[in-house]
Structure 1
């Protein structure tokens, strides 16, 4: 069970882009914090109704709040301004926003900090990119930059050594997007284990333990189907990691200069030849933050308060592994308003038995104590499990799913399976 601090009753204002932190807001409120939540995206405004108090203009509640939490990139300048005014803020900085949003900047910063990166070329149109692949045949990954990178299904990982599959996809994007796609990168593809190292930063230094996450991005088991933002993740906490030391740790002085306070993650491909950072997530990861919460044994409100105050403390976490899987409904991972309204809007989440742990509300509202699906993308729940072994954590998670009915829902049945093979490779390469 989570340890609750009965003496902690801070006023917390949560500024959310898409409502992804409803679970965190709900948890802090249950711990005794006074909470107000604002959601920016128009299609997500209903999320959280009935769970937590909602506000329509967050700016009017700044003076009320002891702590303000921003859950997405793009708020960096506002976070800096509020910190300069003496407010306690968990959120980005102008620098960390750029690390994530501008892929080119992120890669250049890695180089500047003497971190090895994979070769990439940035393009502004498809013709130049197609010509490049034809002249330099190889396996590539197509990575949208800027706002287009929000559409995760556009990221394409090529498998053909001549790059012919990438050429076909680029031609398809050219037909459907024309000149509205924005900048994108072609990055050389390498084989290995995809893994991310992440940690919380208190404005001066990283807190320990650090977090190691394995993401499962494809829609179907065994990595089949389209890329989604995420279908689930497995993770563990550790005091030390060669992957962290080779990447994020080197950015510590720069992050301190910008007074960054929040969570930062770097996704990497690793193999016997080295560690290759791919991209930054300089905010909470989704569903990463909820799975982390399943492993953190201290009260979340107090945790974020201490972080925002710049305290140096050891994060209290469970031993072993944590896993989480999204239960989604149509039209996920696509945006299709008609399908959503037909199959999913206001569908009820039914619990066969009373469950307190491991069930994290996502795009939901509460009406007459019933949990109803809302928003516009069809992410209903995140279900988590923890255990001393990966198998224990998986069993705990999938057992919980058996106690829940969500009409038309689907989810991955293999979250965590990769660990058995991946861990062998990581041990042999000296990276665990």
Structure 2
């Protein structure tokens, strides 16, 4: 036993501090900040971005490539940052490459909501009633026959349009019916499959962990997302405006959800990050959906809380090593700084108000300032891409209030013309934590 431990320690020492060649395969350029941080650690980086409207992101910060497949032999580690690359990741792993990314199975967990719910049931996890539809009229007739409060959840590629998710509030579902009729007029037959899910009241919470191919690494990440555009959860759903989080070695919500997938994930050839979003209340834990990849801005705020070099961290993860992640005590929070037309796509508005707008950092320190859809020209940070997400600003502290104060002080260090952001990220913690303690879930 002692010799095994000694060999593990020697292997760990040999892997830490070595400068490596790391290839990032990114769908929208969301991992620019991670790639740039790893580059500053001394590793060699190459960044590929798939989506045409995002191709400029990262210029001036990291070396860019136009065809990632030509650089797989160069790379010692390949990091895929989005869902949909699962089969490619599996093929690369089977060919002997070290890969952080999904699998065929984990792609299905996220992209096919019905499959995800079936898998939750197969793992004996309680789920909220949900119903799959392929056209709007069937869904409308269903609500008329079964009046209740529902949530509209697009599946497949349509779920990328976060503003299409609609949370109803009418007890008979009349507001959901009105929205479905509006979607039918604007989308026709192009909307794709979607779910109606029964709405339940409680605290929305995400449980996340890094998986090394065999088991989950500790500590676990507990996340509270702020999805609406305006403070107090008003306005359109954006996918994300900011997040608060902390790390813990133990969680009853983790044990009741993600932990039950450990053996299945090991069989699926998965190595990476996975998150399950839940609603919890005094009656139980109700998983809603999987994110079987990095979350945004979750991974950037996690970066603010991880107390070890990221290049070493991802290499050890991809090589299947078992280790405890070194993290900061307390809390981490992050807020997006966005510009028009966010959260909508409008090329004319983006070109008029935001394209190539300068991001100014007033003080020399850039701690807690995370790159999003930016390029660097003549040492100036310019907004690019097509969605209007400029920066993520993070803060840390032993208490949630300390982390908030740290974050919003850093926001004041940034000048972005026409920008807007939430001013209440983390405010829900005081009330949410009281509820979670009373339900025995913290």
Same fold, TM-score > 0.5, yes or no: yes
Provide the rounded CA distance (Å) in 1 between the counterparts of 2:164 and 2:58: 29
Counterpart mapping for 1:416-427 below 5 A: 416-427=426-437
Aligned to 2:105: 95
Give the conservation status (yes or no) of the 8 Å contact 1:325–1:384: yes
Q: Per-residue displacement from partner, 1:47-73 (whole Å, max 9, x unpaired)?
A: 000000000000000000000000000
The answer to whether the 8 Å contact 1:6/1:32 transfers is: no
Deviations 1:357-407 (A, max 9, x none): 100010000011110000000000000000000000000000001111000
CA contact (8 A) 1:194 1:214 kept: yes
Matched, 1:218 2:223: no
In the aligned structure 2, how far is the partner of 1:175 from the partner of 1:145? 19
CA distance in 1, matches of 2:43, 2:29: 18
Please report how far the alpha carbon of residue 259 of structure 1 lies from its aligned counterpart in structure 2 after TM superposition.
2.0
Q: Deviations over 1:70-106 (max 9, x none)?
A: 0000000000000000000000000000000000000
Contact kept? 1:337, 1:376, Cα under 8 Å: yes
Post-superposition offset of 1:355: 1.8
Residue 391 (structure 2) pairs with residue 400 (structure 1): no
TM-score normalised by L of structure 1: 0.98
Aligned twin of 2:3 = none
Check 1:186–1:6 CA distance in 2 against 1; reply closer, same or farther (3 A cut).
Answer: closer
User: Retained in 1: the 8 A contact 2:17–2:312?
Assistant: no
Distance (whole Å) between structure 2 residues aligned to residue 9 and residue 367 of structure 1: 27
Of the three residues 146, 149, 159, the one matched with 1:149 is: 159
Q: Which residue of 1 aligns with 2:119?
A: 109
2:61 is aligned with 1:31: no
Q: Identify the range of structure 1 (173-182 vs 41-50) with the bigger mean alpha-carbon deviation.
A: 173-182
CA contact (8 A) 2:226 2:425 kept: yes
Q: Give the aligned CA root-mean-square deviation in angstroms.
A: 0.8
Q: Report if the CA contact (8 A) 1:266-1:281 is conserved.
A: yes
What is the DSSP-based 3-state SS (H/G/I as helix, E as strand, rest coil) of the residue aligned with 2:276?
strand
Which stretches of structure 1, 4 residues or more, deviate above 3 A after TM superposition?
A: none
**1:125 is the counterpart of 2:143:** no
**Structure 2 residue aligned with 1:194, among 175, 199, 204?**
204
Q: Any idea what SS the aligned residue of 1:385 has?
A: strand
Which of 241, 244, 247 matches 1:234? 244
Count of residue correspondences: 428
Q: Which position in structure 2 is the counterpart of 1:345?
A: 355
**SS of match in other structure, 1:275:** strand
TM-score (norm 2): 0.96
Structure 1: state its 5+ residue gaps. Answer: none
Match of 1:207 in 2: 217
Counterpart CA distance in 2 for 1:180 and 1:52 is: 37
Whole-Å separation in 1 of the counterparts to 2:116 and 2:273: 16
The range that moved more, 354-363 or 201-210, is: 354-363
